[in-house]
Chains A and B, each alone.
Chain A
């Protein structure tokens, strides 16, 4: 089973800040990496797939990069509505494992 490790577990930033979340896979997964956003009491929502492709309707302030084992999610100008927990997920092999999540709070 491929382990996915996110860092940090939580962060607090101000509106307008740029924030970066890291995700590391325990073995190479090429670019089979997805990012999801989950707000309290809601189901997760797909943000990016294939490491860097923005899902339709997702604001362009979200971007992703990386390949192999190291990936990042960047929010270029943090907005109040971005307060949520973010999960990475590898789709390279079954089981499709998730990172433990990064909670983003607005100062």
Chain B
């Protein structure tokens, strides 16, 4: 079945780095734009970053620009989010999300991985 499974979350100190991954299965990963959306504890949803199906075009939220890099390896059906210079306000559940272009909507979500920035 169509599935996205995130991994790599954890506790990191302020100023530290972390890479989270998302393994896709059940669909042609290389045909879809992918996104990361985060949710701070008890808060709403915030789009973080997106990447073109071939990886050539990337967009970032202003709140993470310059500190976060989205990338993908279509040969491994895997999406990545490299996070540097982490701040307390980056603490959140990070969801890997598929964009269904024809519908213009985020149609498949992973279960999320928790990133906690704390000393």
Most buried by B among A46, A50, A99: A46
Closest Cβ neighbor of B61 among chain A residues: A95
Answer whether residue A91 sits at the interface, using C-beta atoms and an 8 A cutoff.
Answer: yes
Number of A-B contacts (CB under 8 A): 57
B residues less than 8 Å from A101 (CB atoms)? 44-45
Give the distance in Å from the alpha carbon of A47 to the alpha carbon of B80 in the complex.
27
Report, as a range, how many residues of chain B touch the other chain: 10 to 19
Closest Cβ neighbor of B35 among chain A residues: A96
Known: A96-B47, A98-B44, A98-B47. A55 touches B59 (CB 8 A): no
B residues less than 8 Å from A99 (CB atoms)? 44
Are A43 and B50 closer than 8 Å at their CB atoms? no
Are A49 and B110 closer than 8 Å at their CB atoms? no
Q: What is the interface of chain A, defined by CB distance below 8 A to chain B? A: 1, 32, 34, 36, 38, 42-46, 49-50, 53, 55, 87, 89, 91, 94-101
Q: Name A's interface SS.
A: loop
Cβ < 8 Å to A, chain B residues 33-53:
35, 44-47, 50
